Chain A
Amino acid sequence: MEHGGKRGKVSPHDRHAGPRPERQPNLRNTEKMEVKGKKKKKDIDELKKEVVMDDHKLTLEELSTKYSVSLTQGHSPEKAKEILIRDGHNTLTPPKTTPEWIKFCKQLFTGFSLLLWIGSILCFVAYSIQVYFHEKTAKDNLYLGIVLAVVVGITGCFSYYQEAKSSKIMESFKNMVPQQALVIRGGKKMQIDVQDVVVGDLVEVKAGDRIPADLRLISAQGCKVDNSSLTGESEPQSRSPDFTHENPLETKNICFFSTNCVEGTARGVVIATGDYTVMGRIASLASGLKTGKTPIGVEIEHFIHLITGVAVFLGVTFFVLSLVLGYGWLEAVIFLIGIIVANVPEGLLATVTVCLTLTAKRMARKNCLVKNLEAVETLGSTSTICSDKTGTLTQNRMTVAHLWFDGTVHNADTSEEYTVQSQRRQEKRETTGDASESALLKFVEQSFSSVKEMREKNPKVAEIPFNSTNKYQLSIHCSEDSSQGHMLLMKGAPERILEFCSTFLLHGQEFPMDDEMKNAFQDAYSELGGLGERVLGFCFLKLPSSFPAGFPFNTDEINFPMSNLCFVGLISMIDPPRAAVPSAVSKCRSAGIKVIMVTGDHPITAKAIAKGVGIISEGTETAEDISARLGIPVSQVNPRSAKAIVVHGLELKDMNSEQLKEILQNHTEIVFARTSPQQKLIIVEGCQKLGAIVAVTGDGVNDSPALKKADIGIAMGITGSDVSKQAADMILLDDNFASIVTGVEEGRLIFDNLKKSIAYTLTSNIPEITPFLLFIILGIPLPLGTITILCIDLGTDMIPAISLAYETPESDIMQRHPRNPKTDNLVNHRLIGMAYGQIGMIQAVAGFFTYFVVMAENGFKPLDLLGIRLNWDNHFLNNLEDSYGQQWTYEQRKVVEFTCQTAFFVSIVVVQWADLLICKTRRNSFFTQGMKNKILIFGLLEETLLAIFLSYTPGMDIALRMYPLR
């Protein structure tokens, strides 16, 4: 939004598309004075405010002058061109896509990679110091530095490739078909591309069209628009030129950009285009939001802090120690760097990336497409899910739910298979029109007989279409047996229908209307209405024989009777919940996840669906329910006693953050209804402020800011809008809310398994560092060299560590509460304590024992090794005496040293077998868990074979300086 920049050109567009006019000058001044960064922030805050416009309040004349356009002729083509040049195309600015190379660099230089880079740089520093001060130096540090850099590089490329792959799938969603719009310019109707529509254009829309821009209607014929992607209302809204509501979102004379016209035709003046439309504002709000770190990112950061802490502590301690022991400054610095680098787990970055990728793939197979690798785990730590209703929890398909006739309520099948099936049939028949009418049609087709046949048998001779003043629809048909004459059928708002009736149908017989019947009607009506369903009444009248076939019915001047009809019954319709949702919600519940419904729909419908899917569980009541049950006013109900609450958007508007916090804290079952996109955002922020990790599901544009703000935004793959998909971190390819449960399960599993992987990988750090430490302190020949360390970290440890990602859950992870992100860390002191303090120590002892055995068997007894370092590493000393009086040349004893290193390496491999089995389980015993993980067995074998290969392959003595053992 560049209000400040556009200030010079005063255009009607600019003036009215922006925020509240009276505030604008003030705002602009402040904006102008602010530095750029602050300005952006301000804009976001501004965008978070509700939409303000006044075009809907203007009369047509005022409108005409405001946009200086004739309401019959439209703009002249020249003027339209002028405006187009001034305002730009009528398209949403796509969110700034980060260039590919920046994305790539991000993969390379963030989080864990940074640690490895620092390690690598330190290696190079150490190497250059060595080269500078000594002529002949071991190239270990150089190799290590290069290997570290290569590891980071490869892992970076890998994860970049992974993410690029999923974003490619994203791209495929984009619907690139250019839309056309019918505009009137210079009095002529013309088809132009939507992107060329300008402010003030006269636009005509008809059923099936997408609204090309924000329109102020000047005329309409039975126009209905589907606003669900903007407001979440599942029912089509009728549109007329009349100003009906202060709120621009509620008034009937405004149509919004990118909503759909489902019925009728309308003509309107474009009042805003592109980014200045309501939809555009929401989209830019979404793209302007900054998202925080993913929980796993935070965990990895915490882990890095711990590791760096340990590394620096060890490094400095041994730096001081080596100075005390009489080493030179230079050597001490080399040691310091060496120890710090040795603490860097080289293989872990790759392990973590691969583990996450594996899970992402597994989730993709279960229809959860993850855009960002780190988001894989987020769902696992999610403690609150804010779900949109329409299209996410519900099928977004009006369906007949209940029928009331013969004095009883009958249930209709609303299950998904059923509706999908009927949908298919309906598609075959290519019906268009109002959602509730197609619902009726579907219902009849499904449960009665072919509508087509019926229509053929009973041709329609006259019709009064539905309008909002009449609130009924009437049609007259020829009767099946033509002798009977005509039949008048009427449907509409139940109370209106009842007014026309004097009799009612009961078990096929007509009875005169009585009070009992009227009460029964009222009860049924309110019962069905209370379920959040849209209720229609039906009645009919057999026209007397005075209306023979061919009678000219006139619907304008009514020439037929329209009273004393016979009331048949009620049909109620609802957008039914998806079949899998209730069980998914209850699974989330038992997993300790709070499910909140946030919808743009009406409270009653929202509550009904919430009850239907278990968001408001059976037996819990809202304050209103309690007041109704106890017969006391709502204000007297103790708000604490009501666990559930339905909050209206209007109430939310007046709340401060404290009150919102109160609501979020004190109620376990919450439904927010009639919420605007901005309010959804506020709700998400409110939850996050309470420390919750929030997942947001949604499909509409109205959800996209919340999707972006959430720790993990989940968009719907089939019904979701492009904007929502762009803002989301995860996409449910099958639109199935139940997939979220899978996601949670996988996320929790990967968290547990990552813990195991990290514990496994970290453990071998100790037997890798201690040799170097003892080398410094005791002056023994180096028991484990850089190359062997790399062989462990990047070779033998790799596959076993990854195999832990395939570990099955130890207990029912869905019965657990979500982890507390503050205390339940990925890597905590306990894990480090176990890995470093216990298992690592055992491993180190095992390794040293092997080392001493090999040394002793080759002639160097342990006690003689102490302090031998300087002589041992002296190139010119070629007659070093061992414990038996033998004399060794430099190379000869180096061969012994490298043999020892190989032995140390092999012993680490062996102890890592055990470690793998230890890390395999955290709570269960090994026997409970079993050895079902085939990858793990493969990992064990691979590790062993690789060790054998490295040790015994001829030529390894030259390539890696590893020697065969006997």
Chain B
Amino acid sequence: MRRQLRSRRAPAFPYGYRYRLDDQGEENQNYLADEEEEAAEEAPVMMAPDLEEEEEKEEEEEEKSQGQPIGNAWRQKLQIMVKYLWDPERRMSLAQTGLILFIYFFFYASLAAVITLCMYMLFVTISPCMLTFTERATTPGVMIRPFAHSLNFNFNVSEPDTWQHYVISLNGFLQGYNDSLQEEMNVDCPPGQYFIQDGNEDEDKKACQFKRSFLKNCSGLEDPTFGYSTGQPCILLKMNRIAGFLPELGDPVKVSCKVQRGDENDIRAINYYPESASFDLRYYPYYGKLTHVNYTSPLVAMHFTDVVKNQAVPVQCQLKGKGIINDVINDRFVGRVIFTLNIET
């Protein structure tokens, strides 16, 4: 029956795939007809559902247009429906396709369930406050401010446009260090010793003040241009926060800058603020952002007061202190930072 229908209709629907399907039918019937069940099923799996649907639709349309007797049409419809559900020739049916889709759906659903469960387990096992492994970041990296996507400070003293954005950046950055804000939020803890806060891990921790005024000439309070207008730029150096990092007791991490390559005297003089050029011990340890909410990273400002002008001066600022690594070859930001100053007048 099916074959008849198909051959009758074939010229009207000259779609490539239909012919291919027909060929397969032929193939199955004739030579080598007796291959494995599996093989016969395989090919049609992918294209069966939409094809079958389409076929049925077309069949219906055809019937309407031909206006066959109702009973006959019904019977035909029934046959097609049966075939739609179970096609003995191709041993393939809608039910089966549906089943496959269902199995896939079920499969992915359970996969999703499993991964969700695993993720949940992950969140249960890791502490929200403290890191599980810390060995990937043992020594702090260093960043400088102002930061403008580049470590080259090129500006012309007489053209404010070339340095204005540094000033804005610094001002913005230092907003969090405003004395009033610090006094309000943080405590003034004794210098020269760790600010260790015992208690539960998830208890909120207090933070030490780091006031903008500590930076003196580089605080932007007296000179709102941070020295850029005079060709004496201030550059702030910040150590990356590392949870649990403790510098050596009595030996705070110091900052020291020098010319990286070239004449040592190109810089001539640097003023550090705070004058100790170090990060006070009271700012350590860091307890993580969940509990140590108002933690303020300490800063060291470098004031390049007498840099050689009209020439690129590569400057390397290193952290010095016990346990500080500053000579990793392939990471130029661990324990040190390199930038160039090119101040034109």
Contact = CB atoms under 8 A, between A and B. Distances in A.
B122 A896 contact: no
A884 B289 contact: yes
Interface in B124-145: 126, 129-133, 136-137, 140-143
Interface in B1-44: 24, 27, 30-32, 34-36, 38-40, 42-43
Contacts of A858: 131-133, 136-137
B111 A879 contact: no
Given A383-B32, A862-B119, A885 B288 contact: yes
A652 B80 CA distance: 46
B122 A856 contact: yes
Interface residues of B, number: 59
B334 A856 contact: no
Interface in A841-871: 841-842, 845, 848-849, 852-853, 856-859, 861-862
Interface residues of A, number: 52
B70 interface: no
A191 interface: no
A925 interface: no
Contacts of A825: 42
A691 B27 contact: yes
Interface string B30-71: 111011101110110110000000000000000000000000
Dominant secondary structure at the B interface:
loop
Contacts of A878: 141-143, 240, 333, 337
A876 B149 contact: yes
Nearest to A876: B149
Interface stretch (A91-99, A142-150, A215-223, A815-823): A815-823
A828 B43 contact: yes
B211 interface: no
A820 B35 contact: yes
A67 interface: no
B151 interface: yes
A860 B137 CA distance: 12
Contact of B39 (A819, A884, A899): A819
B180 interface: no
Contact of A899 (B129, B136, B290, B331): B136
B290 A887 contact: no
A124 interface: no
Contact of B42 (A592, A829, A853, A892): A829
Nearest to A855: B122
Nearest to A854: B133
A748 to B, nearest CB: 12
Given A828-B43, A862-B119, A891-B331, A822 B24 contact: yes
A886 B240 contact: yes
Given A856-B126, A885-B241, A892 B108 contact: no
B35 A841 contact: no
Contact of A849 (B119, B126, B243): B119
Contacts of B288: 884-886
B200 interface: no
A830 interface: yes
B115 interface: yes
A820 B26 CA distance: 13
A842 B330 CA distance: 37
Interface in A885-925: 885-892, 895-896, 899
Contact of A885 (B149, B286, B332, B334): B286
Contact of A838 (B107, B123, B334): B107
**Most central of B32, B137, B292 by chain A CB within 10 Å:** B32
A812 to B, nearest CB: 14
Most chain A CB inside 10 Å of its own CB: which residue of B46, B122, B238? B122
A692 interface: yes
B104 interface: yes
Given A849-B118, A892-B137, A899-B136, A885 B36 contact: no
Nearest to B133: A857
A885 B289 contact: yes
Interface in B83-138: 104, 107-108, 111, 114-115, 118-119, 122-123, 126, 129-133, 136-137
Given A690-B31, A878-B142, A891-B334, A857 B40 contact: no
Contacts of B114: 845
B196 to A, nearest CB: 18
Contacts of A383: 32
B150 interface: yes
A842 B111 CA distance: 7
B115 A845 contact: yes
Contact of B331 (A692, A849, A883, A892): A892
Contacts of B312: none
A665 interface: yes
B143 A879 contact: yes
A208 interface: no
A966 B133 contact: yes
A888 B333 CA distance: 9
Most buried by A among B24, B126, B240, B330: B240
Contact of B243 (A818, A879, A885): A885
Contact of B131 (A838, A852, A886): A886
B300 to A, nearest CB: 15
A885 B31 CA distance: 72
A841 B108 contact: yes
A592 B34 CA distance: 10
Contacts of A481: none
Contacts of A690: 31
A760 to B, nearest CB: 19
B131 A889 contact: no
Interface string B285-301: 01011101001000000
A465 interface: no
Contacts of A896: 136
Contacts of B147: 876
A516 interface: no
B242 interface: yes
B88 to A, nearest CB: 17
B35 A837 contact: no
A892 B133 contact: no
Contacts of B132: 856-858
Contact of B46 (A822, A829, A899): A829
A817 B149 CA distance: 69
Interface in B281-325: 286, 288-290, 292, 295
A556 interface: no
A876 B30 CA distance: 70
Nearest to B242: A886
A824 interface: yes
B42 A823 contact: yes
A886 B32 contact: no
B36 A824 contact: yes
A635 B95 CA distance: 52
Given A886-B131, A891-B330, A892-B331, A830 B45 contact: yes
Contacts of A883: 289
A439 B77 CA distance: 75
A383 B33 CA distance: 12
B207 to A, nearest CB: 11
Given A859-B131, A862-B119, A820 B333 contact: no
Contact of A822 (B27, B133, B137, B142): B27
B35 A817 contact: yes
A888 B31 contact: no
A816 B328 CA distance: 65
Most buried by B among A816, A845, A878: A878
3 nearest CB pairs, A to B: A885-B289, A889-B141, A891-B331
9 contacts: A816-B36, A819-B35, A824-B36, A829-B45, A857-B126, A857-B131, A878-B337, A879-B143, A886-B243
Given A665-B30, A691-B31, A858-B131, 19 more contacts: A690-B31, A817-B32, A823-B35, A824-B35, A849-B118, A858-B133, A859-B131, A859-B137, A876-B149, A883-B289, A884-B288, A885-B241, A885-B288, A885-B290, A886-B286, A887-B241, A889-B334, A891-B333, A892-B331
